[in-house]
Amino acid sequence: MKKLRDSLKYAVNGLKETLIFERNFKIMLFFALLAVFLMFYFPTSRTEKAVITTAIFAVLTLELINIAIERLLDFLQPEYSDKVRIIKDLMAAIVLLASLGAMVIGLIVFWPHIF
């Protein structure tokens, strides 16, 4: 039980670190909370709620992976490197693609309720 408690403590510490130092994650979290509000404000189906929730967690999870990889690369290669830049750009592209997908899902679900 102590190992589980320690694991949860480390995970919460990671989330705190992210919320304190990562501006992009805070922006994504704002839009995630907005989507959750809209999801319960408008009469969305269970399926729509599930799809929106999945999209939210996918984007936030990919952003956390992006942050972890960027920090690892900064640790391993503190000076500028084109190879590191390319990896960081690819990670950013992954998050961007997931975010665009989540935005499309949001438009599909919420557009009929708003307009």
Q: Smallest Cα–Cα separation from 105: which of 59, 65, 67?
A: 59
Cα–Cα distance measured from residue 102 to residue 100, given in angstroms and rounded to the nearest whole number: 5
Q: Copy the structure tokens of residue 28.
A: 């994504």
Give the Å distances, CA to CA, from 114 to 32, 93, 108: 18, 29, 11
Asked if residue 57 has pLDDT above 90, the reply is: yes
Q: Smallest Cα–Cα separation from 30: which of 5, 3, 63, 1?
A: 63
What rounded mean pLDDT belongs to the chain? 97
The backbone torsions φ and ψ at residue 81, rounded to the nearest 5 degrees and listed phi first, read: -145, 130
pLDDT at 1: 84
Nearest-10 crossing angle of helices 2-21, 46-76: 80
The CATH number given to whatever domain includes residue 67 is 1.10.287.3610
- Total domain count, the chain: 1
The answer as to whether 51 is a domain residue is yes
Task: For 71-97, write each residue's pLDDT tens digit.
Answer: 999 999 999 999 999 999 999 999 999
pLDDT at 61: 98
Domain with 58 in it: 23-114
pTM of the model: 0.93
